A and B are shown apart, each in its own frame.
Chain A
């Protein structure tokens, strides 16, 4: 796992040397980094903690809006609002987690997806406008991140890329620690036999809530980063398109096969870009890919890689 991740980030790290001047590709690279983390968080929630959450895009958007509103309406420097956005999202994550983590399977999906859907009319409507969401038009003038007198934004892609890479690596380390630590073991135990693990004194609820909070924090942080990157936001972020693409990353990477989802993010963003000129055939093909992968590629590309190199099974 460590090898794949470090290899991935090393490759990513030298990319700007070749493509630093091509905005189109730098953009894709930055989005790959951002999506890789967001999808990883989802994978940790779903694949490891076994929580059937459908609220990942919602948390991402909450983070983005929180940071945008704080920096635009209250004039707080984005360096702080990004962290505040992470905290806000983490708290909301815990609040959402409290009622629904006691539920089984699909009911968690119901509650979390309900949060997702409530956000749309909330942000578009008069209530959202009152807190500064800009209604259906969204927020169009989100300031860039000023750090030590330097503005990180989409105007200068290479510095922003490295800022994202830096944050990505930190968050990836956190996620990897969760998976490798005592918690990860606890989760696997919980997944295998909840009753037995509970009898050993592993509190499912406490761990799940913690993971929910931490992943929400990271998701919100990256949502905020995204907001300051593109400089504008709207509720279109909550469309099913984004939701599905994030899900495809997990399906391709293999659920619970971290870091497969990182590879999934690379592949998905790439395919999505390559197919963009095809118009309506793009989602059609994406949909077909999901169906085929779920049916025939149980563990995503990681599963595939393991199949063809049986010796490597341990590291997956």
Chain B
């Protein structure tokens, strides 16, 4: 038993003395992402953008003459104490100079990182996160939302759907969304906006993740025969099975997938079958041809490195690392958080698509330099129809009436 006690003590010492060795002069950044679990796919998208930005900075001589070192943390499925643990590990123990998180939770992340001063970039896209920020903007001043909330994105979706050069045969819409904060926010906003212009929300269905058998819902949809079906499920399996079962016996409906068009697997699996579906990407990169040569060069480099098209999150995660590096350069010291945060907020960053500014609630709202891009699947790839705001057609790409509409 004595041995056991010694063992416990040794273990405790081992645990606390762990990785405390300081390496050579590097600048540490923290990257807490979902590396395991249901959100690992989206975590991977952010990771690629962050990795690419870091490599670029390091290859061009580093930041303030120092190399950037990435410290990763697996935030799993964002259980509150895991997120808190991540913040304490990255900011408290490893003393990182900034945190690039992508989708990091629905408010617990803001609280966890709000305890520290290192800039925290997240892509929660949910109102509850913004509410936590708003509860104490001074305390959470180091939080940066790199995209709009679900509600704002839904407003943009509404503008796009009503701007389409297409005569809707009736004024009925069916909305299907997930049971999480994101899905409900988008569903609520869309149904409010459509009701306001005299449409009928003929069916509003909230579904849990993992729904793959759509027969009962499609049966009802066929009877309704709506002009628009909006599906908001940020997970590829569900939206692919929905489409396959829908197309078996289609109705004369525009199929709007919102953000759900962006998971890589959706197009990789369906290819040209998906032609006709519309969807959006916040802070996106218009495709298939980028706005200018500089942006196109970035897209080419990305596709060369990772062998697939640009998924949601990669570009804006890349941009936020670059924006932070720019602010550090201006501040001259990576640990001068006050100056870094001030620069970020006041000066913004000259991104690939133009000057990006953080707006109300420290959010990169949709803006010309980081637009919400609305796509249609044409010939098996995403083709940008509109950028927003202001909502305007992108280059010469034209909306095509889906083949299933007679």
**Binary CB contact string for chain B from 84 to 117 against chain A (1 if under 8 A, 0 otherwise):** 1110110011000000000000111001000100
The distance from the CB of A286 to the nearest CB of chain B, in whole angstroms, is: 11
What B residues does A230 contact at CB under 8 A? 80-81, 84, 108
Q: Does B141 contact A (CB under 8 A)?
A: no
**Binary CB contact string for chain B from 183 to 200 against chain A (1 if under 8 A, 0 otherwise):** 010000000000000000
Asked whether, in the complex, the Cβ of B88 is within 8 Å of the Cβ of A308, the reply is no
**Which of B40, B81, B128 counts the most A-chain CB atoms under 10 A from its CB?**
B81
Complex A-B: 25 CB contacts under 8 Å: A3-B5, A4-B4, A7-B5, A11-B8, A11-B9, A23-B88, A25-B16, A28-B85, A136-B180, A137-B106, A137-B181, A138-B106, A140-B128, A154-B84, A230-B108, A232-B111, A234-B79, A234-B106, A242-B79, A273-B85, A276-B73, A276-B85, A276-B86, A305-B3, A309-B2
Given contacts A230-B81, A232-B108, A277-B73, whether A270 and B11 have CB atoms under 8 Å apart is yes
Kindly state the separation between the CA atoms of A19 and B37 in the bound complex, as whole angstroms.
Answer: 32
What A residues does B178 contact at CB under 8 A? 136
Kindly state the separation between the CA atoms of A277 and B183 in the bound complex, as whole angstroms.
Answer: 31
Kindly state the separation between the CA atoms of A125 and B209 in the bound complex, as whole angstroms.
Answer: 12
What A residues does B77 contact at CB under 8 A? 236, 239, 241
What B residues does A7 contact at CB under 8 A? 5, 8
What B residues does A15 contact at CB under 8 A? 12
Q: Does A122 contact B (CB under 8 A)?
A: no
Given contacts A22-B92, A230-B80, whether A279 and B1 have CB atoms under 8 Å apart is no
Given contacts A27-B84, A277-B73, whether A309 and B9 have CB atoms under 8 Å apart is no
**Binary CB contact string for chain B from 1 to 34 against chain A (1 if under 8 A, 0 otherwise):** 1111101110110111010000000000000000
Asked whether, in the complex, the Cβ of B85 is within 8 Å of the Cβ of A27, the reply is yes
Asked whether, in the complex, the Cβ of B84 is within 8 Å of the Cβ of A125, the reply is no
Tell me the nearest residue of chain B to A274, going by C-beta: B18
Asked whether, in the complex, the Cβ of A124 is within 8 Å of the Cβ of B92, the reply is no
Beyond A155-B115, A231-B111, 6 extra complex contacts between A and B, CB < 8 Å: A31-B81, A140-B107, A234-B78, A263-B8, A266-B11, A316-B1
The distance from the CB of B66 to the nearest CB of chain A, in whole angstroms, is: 21
**Binary CB contact string for chain A from 253 to 292 against chain B (1 if under 8 A, 0 otherwise):** 0000000000100110010011011111011000000000
Asked whether, in the complex, the Cβ of A135 is within 8 Å of the Cβ of B179, the reply is yes
**Binary CB contact string for chain A from 157 to 190 against chain B (1 if under 8 A, 0 otherwise):** 0000000000000000000000000000000000
Which residue of A138, A140, A282, A301 is within 8 Å of B36 (Cβ)?
A: A282
What A residues does B73 contact at CB under 8 A? 276-277
What B residues does A237 contact at CB under 8 A? 79
Asked whether, in the complex, the Cβ of A279 is within 8 Å of the Cβ of B5, the reply is no
Binding site for B on A (CB under 8 A): 3-4, 7-8, 11, 15, 18-19, 22-25, 27-28, 31, 121, 124-125, 135-138, 140-141, 154-155, 226, 230-234, 236-237, 239, 241-242, 263, 266-267, 270, 273-274, 276-280, 282-283, 301-302, 305, 308-309, 312, 315-316
Asked whether, in the complex, the Cβ of A24 is within 8 Å of the Cβ of B89, the reply is yes
Kindly state the separation between the CA atoms of A23 and B84 in the bound complex, as whole angstroms.
Answer: 10
Asked whether, in the complex, the Cβ of A11 is within 8 Å of the Cβ of B12, the reply is yes
Q: Does B35 contact A (CB under 8 A)?
A: yes
Which residue of B3, B8, B181 is within 8 Å of A136 (Cβ)?
A: B181
Which residue of A124, A141, A270, A276 is within 8 Å of B89 (Cβ)?
A: A276
Asked whether, in the complex, the Cβ of A140 is within 8 Å of the Cβ of B132, the reply is yes
Kindly state the separation between the CA atoms of A234 and B18 in the bound complex, as whole angstroms.
Answer: 31
Given contacts A236-B78, A273-B15, A305-B7, whether A279 and B72 have CB atoms under 8 Å apart is yes
What B residues does A236 contact at CB under 8 A? 77-80
The distance from the CB of A227 to the nearest CB of chain B, in whole angstroms, is: 9
Q: Does B326 contact A (CB under 8 A)?
A: no
Kindly state the separation between the CA atoms of A141 and B106 in the bound complex, as whole angstroms.
Answer: 12
Kindly state the separation between the CA atoms of A23 and B181 in the bound complex, as whole angstroms.
Answer: 30
What B residues does A154 contact at CB under 8 A? 84
The distance from the CB of A266 to the nearest CB of chain B, in whole angstroms, is: 6
Which residue of A18, A23, A137, A239 is within 8 Å of B115 (Cβ)?
A: A23
What A residues does B180 contact at CB under 8 A? 136-137
Asked whether, in the complex, the Cβ of B3 is within 8 Å of the Cβ of A309, the reply is yes
**Binary CB contact string for chain B from 114 to 142 against chain A (1 if under 8 A, 0 otherwise):** 01000000000010100110010000000
**Which of A226, A230, A237 counts the most B-chain CB atoms under 10 A from its CB?**
A230
**Binary CB contact string for chain B from 159 to 177 against chain A (1 if under 8 A, 0 otherwise):** 0000000000000000000
Asked whether, in the complex, the Cβ of B88 is within 8 Å of the Cβ of A267, the reply is no
What A residues does B3 contact at CB under 8 A? 305, 308-309, 312
What A residues does B107 contact at CB under 8 A? 137, 140, 232
Q: Does B347 contact A (CB under 8 A)?
A: no
**Which of A141, A232, A241 counts the most B-chain CB atoms under 10 A from its CB?**
A232
Q: Does B71 contact A (CB under 8 A)?
A: yes
The distance from the CB of B267 to the nearest CB of chain A, in whole angstroms, is: 25
Kindly state the separation between the CA atoms of A141 and B132 in the bound complex, as whole angstroms.
Answer: 9
Kindly state the separation between the CA atoms of A230 and B107 in the bound complex, as whole angstroms.
Answer: 12
Kindly state the separation between the CA atoms of A136 and B105 in the bound complex, as whole angstroms.
Answer: 12
What A residues does B7 contact at CB under 8 A? 263, 301, 305
